[in-house]
């Protein structure tokens, strides 16, 4: 192992729930130690602004353009990240000597088929803000981590597989979990990494995870979450709807493949029949859809996974975990149960990727994003 450094990852995911901040010690190949992780929730007004930004980003063709509300959204995203980092370093002053910060930003549009992915968040402005929070020379900041992959013809997502692989190496040794492993992130969108010993990891997005559930719950109850899957547990799954929704051509495509947060919104609005369902039945059907979409990836994998490790916010939803067990017929464990942090995993991954970027190591691979060759990535603002 090269000398590990302290790195912080900052992630604002597709669920638009807040800014995740996490610290790890890493050399970009292995993880020497996990530090703390925190989520700083967006206020309702910020969330509404980001929702509008997603709408207004739809016609973008230039990834640097910030028309309409996007300029304000970028300013707010940058400010919330600076505030989140300030709060984190105030709580953990012993980590002000951090060497690297990975800044994902907020994806507002993802169209890899036209080589376009747009993450808002002003790297130079955040680097400036970080200078005031850390002793000189301060950390290097790495941002815009998806652009190079997409420009080279890759999907630009998911990027966490390199991190999943690093973590799984330790796990296989320590816990002797039966493989192959499937690491499942249940954020706004769901993505998987399939890991089998020395084989190249296979990764892709699988379909919606919480975004559709959150939007449905917000529209029907005013609260954008089905807390602990309570509504879904009380409802009845409409299997006809699930079967109809799974006819979308995305599900027959082999990995690598990736999604925009809202790719299934219209499809579900047209084919889901949710308006006619009770809150419980709608929640149950959308939760089962998430599990069924993960099931739909299994035929595309070289070998059936023996263990599924669930991470991301959806891992807190016991109804969803039960549906995954039932539909996939695999052992389902949570990331926390294997000693990882399900809530901090993505932010940790961007800390890890920042260090990889600084060391000139690839972030993505032909089997994870479909990029033609292992790909470097990230824009670096050096310390000092
Ligand atoms: N106790 C809970 N019960 C049910 N759902 C929950 C619970 N806690 C979190 N969630 C869901 O998890 C979501 C947040 O997940 P997470 O933070 O992993 O998403 P993200 O990182 O924003 O998304 P992505 O991984 O797609 O970028 C919330 O929007 C909510 O729907
Ligand atoms: C374009 C984009 O931001 N994609 C996100 C999104 O949220 C989950 C899934 O879709 C995943 O592909 C990706 O995030 C994770 C962190 C990734 O790149 O691995």
Ligand 2, atom 10, lies closest to the CA of 189
Residue 12, SS3? Answer: strand
Q: What is the C-alpha separation between 89 and 303, in angstroms, rounded?
A: 43
Residue 170 has pLDDT above 90, yes or no: no
- What are the residues facing 12 on neighbouring strands? 19, 106
User: Who's near 125: CB < 8 A, 6+ residues apart?
Assistant: 78, 82
Mean pLDDT of the region 341-360: 98
Any idea which ligand is nearest the CA of 105?
Answer: 2
- Retrieve residue 267's tokens: 């499809």
| Separation of CA 199 and ligand 2 centre (Å) | 22
Of ligand 2's listed atoms, the one at least distance from the Cα of 349 is 16
Is 18 among the annotated ligand-binding positions? yes
Ligand 1, atom 19, lies closest to the CA of 187
- What are the residues facing 181 on neighbouring strands? 195, 307
Going by pLDDT thresholds of 50, 70 and 90, the confidence category of residue 172 is: confident
Residue with tokens 């995740």: 20
Is 150 among the annotated ligand-binding positions? no
Ligand 2-lining residues (CB < 6 angstroms): 13-14, 107, 110, 117, 157-160, 185, 187-189, 191, 205, 258-259, 346
User: Who's near 74: CB < 8 A, 6+ residues apart?
Assistant: 66, 120, 121, 122
CA-atom Rg of the chain in angstroms: 20
**All domains of the chain in start order, with CATH:** 5-155+371-381 (3.30.420.40), 161-338 (3.30.420.40)
What is the pLDDT at residue 55? 97
**ipTM of the complex model:** 0.98
User: Who's near 204: CB < 8 A, 6+ residues apart?
Assistant: 155, 158, 191, 192, 255, 256, 257, 258, 297
- Retrieve residue 241's tokens: 């709807």
Does residue 210's CB lie within 6 angstroms of at least one atom of ligand 1?
A: yes
Tell me the pLDDT tens digit for each residue of 30-70. 999 999 999 999 999 999 999 999 999 999 999 999 999 99
Tell me the pLDDT tens digit for each residue of 299-325. 999 999 999 999 999 999 999 999 999
Residue 176 has pLDDT above 90, yes or no: no
What is the pLDDT at residue 366? 98
Whether the model pTM is above 0.95 = yes
357, with CB counted inside 10 A (0-12, 13-18, 19+), is: buried
Q: What is the C-alpha separation between 100 and 78, in angstroms, rounded?
A: 17
Mutate to test the pocket of ligand 2, among 11, 12, 14, 212 (most ligand atoms within 8 A of CB): 14
């Amino acid at each position: 192992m090269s000398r590990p450094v302290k790195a912080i990852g900052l992630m604002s995911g597709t669920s638009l729930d807040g800014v995740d901040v996490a610290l790890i010690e890493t050399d970009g190949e292995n993880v020497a130690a996990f530090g703390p992780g925190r989520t700083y929730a967006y206020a309702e007004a910020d969330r509404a602004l980001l929702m509008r930004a997603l709408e207004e980003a739809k016609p973008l063709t230039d990834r640097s353009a910030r028309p309409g509300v996007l300029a304000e959204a970028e300013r707010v995203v940058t400010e919330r990240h600076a505030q989140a980092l300030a709060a984190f370093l105030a709580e953990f002053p012993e980590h002000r000597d951090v060497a690297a910060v990975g800044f994902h930003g907020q994806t507002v549009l993802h169209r890899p088929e036209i080589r376009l992915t747009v993450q808002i968040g002003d790297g130079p402005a955040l680097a400036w803000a970080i200078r005031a929070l850390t002793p000189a020379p301060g950390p290097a900041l790495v941002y815009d981590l998806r652009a190079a992959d997409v420009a080279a013809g890759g999907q630009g997502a998911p990027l966490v597989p390199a991190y999943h692989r690093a973590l799984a190496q330790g796990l296989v040794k320590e816990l002797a979990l039966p493989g192959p492993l499937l690491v499942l992130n249940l954020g706004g969108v769901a993505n998987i990494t399939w890991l089998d010993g020395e084989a190249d990891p296979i990764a892709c997005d699988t379909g919606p995870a919480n975004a559709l559930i959150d939007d449905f719950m917000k529209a029907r109850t005013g609260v954008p979450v089905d807390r602990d899957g309570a509504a879904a547990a009380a409802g009845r799954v409409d299997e006809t709807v699930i079967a109809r929704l799974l006819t979308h051509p995305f599900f027959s495509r082999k990995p690598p493949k990736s999604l925009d947060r809202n790719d299934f919104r219209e499809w579900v609005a047209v084919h889901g029949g949710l308006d006619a369902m009770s809150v419980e039945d709608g929640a149950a059907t959308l939760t089962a859809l998430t599990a069924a979409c993960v099931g739909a990836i299994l035929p595309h994998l070289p070998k059936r996974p023996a263990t599924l490790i669930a991470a991301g916010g959806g891992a807190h939803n016991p109804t969803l975990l039960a549906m995954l067990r039932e539909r996939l017929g695999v052992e389902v464990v949570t990331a926390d149960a294997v000693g990882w942090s399900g809530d901090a995993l993505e932010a940790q991954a961007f800390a890890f990727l920042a260090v990889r970027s600084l060391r000139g190591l690839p972030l993505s691979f032909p089997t994870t994003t479909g990029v033609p060759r292992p790909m470097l990535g990230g824009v670096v603002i050096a310390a000092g």
